[in-house]
Chain A
């Protein structure tokens, strides 16, 4: 096995790895990247796709390094036969370990800074950011309330008389503020193509921002197990041009007026009466909001 030790294994592994990385990193970023989910329907979705591209490019050389090493080791350092031979006595190479620790730490810190910047840059990146988001959009916004209940989403438009609909229409090129809340258990409002995901918690107003760039349909799904019909808890959404949104909204507001009259006053959270509409689990003797 003397030849094996003379072979410059390190250089060869490094070479293969660099070549593979040089091939695959541009492929991941430029060829695969533009097709990565969740697409580019909104500012936030595009931002998430950018994150996926960047993380993909960072992950590629890591995966390639380990795979190259494992394959190389199995090809060149494998020993067969009955006789057992001991390898070289190497307990540590401090310089190498140090570089490894330093590089991984540096990469990880860069990723954390990058993620934080992207979170801030995209007004919370489409995530549910609580009742008082610090990464918030500024300027005029259309508030839309998302009400989750077992097992449907409904949508309320406080600026259009507080009307409530079963599908979600939003205008293009306008900052939207989703106020997500639940009437019962935890759900999660996921508008896939918009890149919005916000948990719906009872008694909590969870805010997410989005700005749709293109018109078109999008899917709404529940992303948190909420019971029997969780898998079927879907709704339809559509991004409309400003003009068609306005006409849709005014028309629907008029059409829905009889039902809107029945609805409670618009509020960021709702507490349906435990005794009246709550199945009496706690019974009427319990105070509401003690």
Chain B
């Protein structure tokens, strides 16, 4: 039985003095402490000024240290100055946002200002705000910006590949674009569910008022714009030629743009670790009374297993990036074979992070889809324990498969049968997800809403993605497929066709909860149909392109493959328009002509729907007591999930608290 700790995390504020709905916050009369100079403006402008100052300071230190190195004078690029500039710039950025005020104040022994800059206006979305719901929305917008930017880069890739020999961008810019696209997408995909939905929904789903570490939560978001800007600035410095995998020693050899990769991925790694850590602690500690592990929604299980992977795998990436940074700045030789290093070291470290990372991208998709299925099937989730076992199994196994990325590399060739086995074993827990999905659909009362369409699309796409993975896990079949467009199609099926379809489905499903406004359903349907058709039309031919002999990341290819490539490119542009439909729907329904959503538009039993939409600052009027599981559809005598609602009318109580609010 979980213990309610949500009001008792180190905050010695008398209950009488708490602002209602905002636990732990001091009343205005008792607030005192250190404030950042407001002369430089609030929030983002001040942060930009601090970031610029930080960058200049770091650059100056780098020049002080390394300007005399013969490596620097000969090559004309001081990598130390650039990396230090980025790091101090990031520190300046978060300092300017106000992240450091609290720890610095505490360090100097002064009274802290709890819940800084709490405000109710739209300005709170542009500040360092500790409300998990604000951070969720911030993450959502941030990740959509990441996604659209990287998507445009993908269209640039397809433009170059329209012709096998004539070049729009040329080889140098082409690999810069490929690297930017891959790295930005990968950085964004790790956070695309855990950031917006994890932060927004986990406290609502477990009956807590907030996350365990609101400051870390806000910090984890405010690092992502820094990573975005750093990564994009790489193009200005000449880009990096390594793709998102950053294989050494090419990444040691590369020019200044590579420093942006090191810094951006490093900053993002910190953000990922903090976000994951926060969610793990929140789920373990802040569950409402009665929220047993068995009643915990599948979505929360999925986000928690993902968060475990984030916490355990990402530090390895950070370590590898640190070594790469040292190799590039002070000429250590971790990755240089003639000086005692090894090119295998990066491959090992990177994929030891990289493969769990791949499942960081898969599990949240499973979680969202399995969370939505019971609602639209009006049935309990089939074999919930199997679903959870599937997600836990995938996470655990994901640490034992990384060398399948290195089947042809000559490293540990004797171990390949083992890694072939572990890789293929992963299809067992993945199969659990399909079992649970199909079991839930069995004799269900399916309502084909827009989120449900995306869930069905997810199953189809992930099926093809998963099945193609079996070909890649088989060493002989992998020989041809390895490093080709086949691999590329495979992981786009699992990430784009899986995770992004789940993300879009989740947006259609939960945006009414997050904003109180509904998306346009007709446009949503067309959005889904166009996305599904053009997604498959884009990526299905790429399996063939790969098997027919086109390696990844090439700017030139065999003339006989031009028809297929042109087909793919045109489909990709149409897929771009399908995503534009989504953006239009989002902007139209959320900003231009918002329509008030019903309190519980999907008639879900879920705890997150038992409060108003959007929820009040404290989420619930009081901490709910959990009475039943979230998926008891079709059980005549089922109790409501919590005591917040009466048994007869699950939404009545929530609706009652819904005073008239303007949008």
Contact = CB atoms under 8 A, between A and B. Distances in A.
Q: Do chains A and B touch in the complex (CB under 8 A)?
A: yes
B529 interface: no
Contacts of A36: 547
Given A48-B480, A283-B71, A77 B443 contact: yes
B338 A44 contact: no
A185 B339 contact: no
Contacts of A89: 379-380, 632-635
B109 interface: no
A85 B445 contact: yes
B414 A134 contact: yes
Name, among A84, A192, A224, the residue most crowded by chain B CB atoms within 10 Å (CB to CB): A224
B428 A87 contact: no
Interface string A38-71: 1000001001100110010011001100110110
A126 B379 contact: no
B416 interface: yes
Contact of B603 (A84, A128, A281): A84
Contact of B554 (A62, A101, A231): A231
Interface string B327-347: 000010100111110111001
Contacts of B632: 89
Given A69-B438, A92-B382, A127 B241 contact: no
26 contacts: A55-B474, A66-B459, A69-B441, A70-B441, A70-B456, A74-B448, A79-B446, A89-B634, A90-B379, A92-B382, A115-B417, A122-B476, A125-B476, A128-B413, A129-B413, A185-B250, A185-B253, A185-B343, A192-B480, A197-B480, A202-B343, A225-B247, A227-B253, A228-B175, A231-B557, A290-B339
B241 A111 contact: no
Contacts of A266: none
A288 interface: yes
A207 B410 CA distance: 8
B410 A195 contact: no
B467 A223 contact: no
B470 interface: yes
A1 B433 CA distance: 28
B476 A96 contact: no
Enumerate the 7 nearest inter-chain pairs by beta-carbon distance, A residue then B residue, closest first: A231-B554, A203-B337, A206-B410, A125-B476, A223-B483, A87-B379, A86-B634
Contact of B408 (A37, A128, A282): A128
A154 interface: no
Given A79-B447, A104-B431, A190 B483 contact: yes
B553 to A, nearest CB: 5
Contacts of A97: 383, 386, 435, 439
A170 B74 CA distance: 44
A54 to B, nearest CB: 9
Nearest to B384: A91
Interface in A183-236: 184-186, 188, 190, 192, 195-199, 201-207, 219, 221-232
Interface residues of A, number: 107
Interface string B447-488: 110000000100110011001001101111111101110000
Contacts, number: 334
Contacts of B385: 92
A70 B242 CA distance: 40
B409 interface: yes
Contacts of A135: 413
Interface string A250-284: 00000000000000000000010010000011110
Contacts of B616: none
A276 to B, nearest CB: 12
Contacts of B473: 111, 115
A18 interface: no
A66 B438 CA distance: 8
B483 A119 contact: no
A62 B468 CA distance: 12
A126 B337 contact: no
Given A47-B476, A63-B463, A203-B338, A127 B556 contact: no
Contacts of A51: 474, 476-477
B407 interface: yes
Nearest to A5: B443
Contacts of B172: 228
Contacts of A185: 247, 249-250, 253, 343
B159 interface: no
